[in-house]
A and B are shown apart, each in its own frame.
Chain A
Amino acid sequence: MKPAVFSYQSPRTLDEVFGELAEHGSDARVLAGGQSLIRLMNARTETPGVLVDINRIPGLDEVTVEDGVVRIGALVRQRTSEVSPVIREHTPVFSEAGAEVAHVSVRERGTVVGSIAFADPCAELPTALVALDGEIVARSTRGERVIPAEQMFLGPYRTALAEDEMAVEARLPALPTGRTGSAFLEITRRHGELPVCGVASILRLDDDGQITEARISVGAVGDRPQRARAAESALLGRTTDPEVWREAGELAAREIEPRPTVHGSSAYRRHLASVVTRRSLSRAAARALEGAHHV
């Protein structure tokens, strides 16, 4: 199992990357952590003619906060993100999801933005990104645009990035303070595997304990992480109650079109969507009631 021949570029600036992408289009792939890409290249499922290695470009490995938005550069490793106090403080659900990604050895190299751009429908970080109403900054020789998370994922391994674009940054709006709680919960068949269902949820309560905001992102069930909008709407104005979570879970399961894989049929995944949504909401609510939005 060995990769096919490719030409290797290791530019020192982003402009050079955009130049390569503009020139080679779909024949070029960006190499960041490579934890998915190289695996596929070994199996020759992916055979890019040009590999653009961005690992030597300075300045892409920073996590910053600006105006209540966490910015994660294209070379921030999953391990860095997972243990980042900044991310934990502002978007704890992203840290929680990040801790579930594969194993430490993979997270040491794998990048946050790479995982998002790879768009595995089961992957944890895209699911969390969608719950957080995050954004992806895409850049090319043509300029820069910002893609909202929900518009980023088109299907399995398909994103809104054009052939000549590179995802240079992920942006996560900080969760509101106060009675907000979030949770990421997943079911995997084996520790460290991609989930068969993963749900990131965010709940905000008012002083009376009524739900004023609900966000539910269901990953690994459909062909991409998706918001369960009907379930979210149904939660507004309700109080925290097991029956409420159960109803929301059932609504979520109904609105996601499941995609079967070897690890679970459509029926099983739909079933899990209901179970995991319910459990995720319950955990998020408990955290919201604790008053702070820590994990």
Chain B
Amino acid sequence: MSDKQRITVTVNDQEHDLLVEPRTLALDLLRDELRLTGTHAGCEQGVCGACTILVDGKITRACLMFAVQLDGCSVETVESLGSPDGTMHPIQRAFSENHGLQCGFCTPGMLMVTQELLRREPRPDAETARAAIAGNHCRCTGYQHIVASVCAAGRAMSEAEHQHVDRQDVEHQGARA
């Protein structure tokens, strides 16, 4: 029979030393072992995208990867978003403000896709946003509000970034003066 394998994986900035059966899917490692149940199982066939996570920054279907393959990797899940003080991540806030979710089951996958997209493309237009989420099924929203949420998140984050830079400039100038 199969022997358990030792892996070291960083999930949402926390390192874990784990023993896993080779056949355990990355999805089940997150949900059952680490109790990070925000990542959802939709089809286990790689079609629906509900289990989308980021592995070393790349969008990945957690149902189409074995846990053992995560050895040495850095994983981000929906639980990485938002702060312990209750401040939502701008992506989460944009989804809520634009009604980009209804039942919420596909939402963690959508959020992670958005996270990856905005790192590459900080200000996506509607067409880019629509293309980015095409691999993730939502049965509730008809996608329109999700597209709006992705664009709004991009705007909000870019603006926050600019304000941040402006503030730094001001502080810098202040220091010089």
Contact = CB atoms under 8 A, between A and B. Distances in A.
* Direct contact between the two chains A and B in their complex (CB within 8 A): yes
Nearest to B109: A105
Given A8-B68, A43-B45, A2 B25 contact: yes
A42 B64 CA distance: 9
B64 A39 contact: yes
B6 interface: no
B2 A1 contact: no
B59 A6 contact: no
Interface in B13-29: 22-23, 25, 28
A28 to B, nearest CB: 13
Interface in A37-64: 38-39, 42-43, 51, 53, 55
B59 to A, nearest CB: 4
A8 B22 contact: yes
B23 A35 contact: no
A41 to B, nearest CB: 8
Contact of A108 (B28, B58, B66): B58
Contacts of B134: 103, 191-192
Contact of B64 (A7, A8, A38): A38
B-side interface mostly: mixed
Interface string A188-218: 0001100000000000000000000000000
Given A42-B44, A108-B60, A2 B65 contact: no
Interface in B83-131: 113
B64 A34 contact: yes
Interface in A1-44: 1-8, 10, 34-35, 38-39, 42-43
A108 B59 contact: yes
Nearest to B53: A105
Nearest to B41: A1
Given A1-B44, A104-B59, A109 B65 contact: yes
A2 B67 CA distance: 13
Interface string A157-193: 0000000000000000000000000000000000110
B69 interface: yes
Given A38-B66, A105-B61, A1 B45 contact: yes
Closest 7 CB pairs of A and B: A103-B135, A8-B22, A105-B59, A1-B44, A38-B64, A3-B23, A108-B58
19 contacts: A2-B25, A5-B1, A5-B23, A6-B23, A7-B22, A8-B2, A8-B5, A8-B66, A35-B46, A38-B64, A38-B65, A38-B66, A43-B45, A103-B49, A103-B135, A105-B52, A106-B46, A109-B64, A109-B65
Interface of B: 1-3, 5, 22-23, 25, 28, 44-46, 49, 52, 58-61, 63-66, 68-69, 113, 132, 134-135
Interface of A: 1-8, 10, 34-35, 38-39, 42-43, 51, 53, 55, 102-106, 108-109, 191-192
